[in-house]
Structures are given as structure tokens and as C-alpha cells.
A and B are shown apart, each in its own frame.
Chain A
Amino acid sequence: MQQVFKRPTSLKDVQTHFCSGCHHGTIHRLVAEAIDKYGVQERTIGVASVGCSVFLYGYFDIDVVEAPHGRASAVATGVKRAKPENFVFTYQGDGDLAAIGTAEIIHAANRGEDITVFFVNNTTYGMTGGQMAPTTLVGQKTSTSPYGRNKAKDGAPVRMAELLAQLEGVAFSARVAVNSPKNLIDAKKQIQKAFQYQVEGKGFSFIEVLSACPTNWGMNPLAANERVGTEMIDYFKLGVFKNL
């Protein structure tokens, strides 16, 4: 018998700090598989955000820059412009990318920087304590919206993949999920496609991945996984929104 599934070589063989049932681990693996597939491990520079994704350098066997909160796409702009021969990606959460870093992501996307952005949307600030994020669903209870998100007061959740797809500079924008085998296989395909865009120098590529946060949602891992497939996908539709 041959081993048909094993850990990607660019993913270090270490225990992660992620909670049980958190999708970060799955998304890390899919990104690492894409790095392996395109053979860019030696020239990849990751840019980590602030949040649960902050330990990118501990889990990926690549070079990683740690950006200030929200600024990963601005830092990645600098890295890519200084070292255009390198493969540069950011890995950011929704508190980081859609709130604190809104200006940075929109302008990096609009300039069409030749970088790849992985946006992990779990509808809450994970590491900082489960506060309401711009992506928190209407009615969702968080530590700063104990009665649920109020649309009249807080607005509706931001759909980043659709929003960025409207910008001239964006070459590829998609939203995927990893909650079921079917969605996961598609996510793998789209993540590899986002990599291909940069490998071929086609410009800015953006992938939003829906993710569970069992701890901050106050759910067990299976219930949280189920919520991604029902409530989240109902509002955050999966699909490719731009594909130049």
C-alpha cells in the first residue's frame, strides 16, 4: 500500500493552537498544498495578520512577515514590490481584513498588486474575545452584541468577496467553504487557482474562506460546522465573483 494522503511538506509537523473544530487548520493545509503543488516553497513569503492567524510562521515552513493589525495587504505590497520574484500571500481574518484593515485591502486590491489574499471569515473577532465584526450575521450574539447584531444600528454584514470583485485591479475573487467534503474539494480547487493567478503574474487574487469558530460561537465543533453550511452560506453565497 502507498500513502495517498499525507501532510504537505510546507506545513510543519507541529501541533496547532487552534481550538477543536476550528477551520483554520484545514485552510492552512489547503494553502500549504497549493504551495507544494506550484513548487514555490523556497520563494514564498507569507504575511500574517493579527488574530488566530498570527502564528503562520510557526505552522508554515516558509518565510513569514508579521504585519500590524489590518495592515497585511499593505505590508505584502511592500514585500512584493521589493522582491517581485517571490510569491507573496497574506492570510487574514475578518476582524483584521474587513474592519481594521478595510482601507489597506481596498487600496491594495484597487492598485491590482500582484499578491494573493486569503481571507478567513468566521463572523467574529476570534483571538481578541469574540467581539462583533463587520461580518457578524444579523441577530448573532457576540461579546459586544449580547442581544444580537441589530441591522438598524450596526448595518448588514459586509460581503468582501463581492465588494472587491467590483474593483478594476482585482483579477480573481471567490468565496469558498470547508464545512463539507464537497465544499472542501471546491475550496482546494479555487485556492490553487488563486495561486496560479500570481504564479502567472495576472494580478490581485482574493479568496474568502468561510470558517467555524466553535469557541466564540458557544457551540460544539459539529454544531459550529453545521452553522457554516446553513446560516453562513445562506448569506455569504459561495462562488467565483471575478475571474479574468
Chain B
Amino acid sequence: MAMITIDEQRCKGCGLCTIACAQKLLVLSDKINNQGYTPARINATDRCTGCALCAEICPDVAIAVFR
């Protein structure tokens, strides 16, 4: 059982988490945040293993990981 939370206002939509996730669960959303970027969101949360690689690679420390 694991989950992540993404701070959508902090995210700059660089997409680095989308390539770090081995399960390919992360995608960029269509909506625009306060900064004008399209933040990342997670699909199929139940498949998240909590490996934290998305959080490790995030330049904006916008991801928190729970396990």
C-alpha cells in the first residue's frame, strides 16, 4: 500500500516524474495551475509502489510519498 501526493500549484509541469516512474503512472494534466503550467497527476493510484523515484527527480519538491 503506497501513495503519492502532488502539490499541483508547486509543480512546473516539466514531466521528469513521468519518465522516472517505472509503472508509467504519471502524466501531465490538461488543466493549468497558478503558475501557468500543466501539473503532473497520477493515474491508477493503486498500482503505485511508493518507490519515490518521482519525488527524487522532481526539481520542485512537489511530490510527497507515503508507504
Binding site for B on A (CB under 8 A): 1-7, 11, 15-16, 18-26, 29, 178, 180-181, 184-185, 214, 221-222, 225
Contact at A26–B58, with CB atoms within 8 Å? Answer: yes
Question: Given that A1-B1, A1-B3, A25-B60 are known contacts, is A181 also in contact with B53, CB under 8 Å in the complex?
Answer: yes
Contact with A along B8-32 (1 / 0, CB 8 A): 0010111110011000000000000
Chain B residue contacts of A180, Cβ below 8 A: 20, 57
Are B59 and A2 in contact (CB-based, < 8 A)?
Answer: no
Q: List 20 A-B contacts (CB under 8 A).
A: A1-B2, A2-B67, A3-B66, A4-B66, A5-B52, A5-B55, A5-B56, A5-B65, A7-B61, A15-B60, A16-B60, A18-B59, A20-B37, A21-B59, A22-B59, A24-B59, A26-B57, A181-B20, A222-B14, A222-B19
Give per-residue flags for B32-65: 1 if the beta carbon is below 8 A from chain A beta carbons, else 0: 0001010000000000001011011111110111
Question: How many residues of chain B have a CB within 8 Å of chain A?
Answer: 28
Q: Are B52 and A4 in contact (CB under 8 A)?
A: yes
Please list the residues of chain B having a beta carbon within 8 angstroms of any beta carbon in chain A.
1-3, 10, 12-16, 19-20, 35, 37, 50, 52-53, 55-61, 63-67
A210: shortest Cβ distance to chain B, in Å?
14
Q: Is the CB of A21 within 8 A of B12?
A: yes
By a CB distance below 8 angstroms, the chain B residues around A185 are 56
Q: Are A5 and B63 in contact (CB under 8 A)?
A: yes
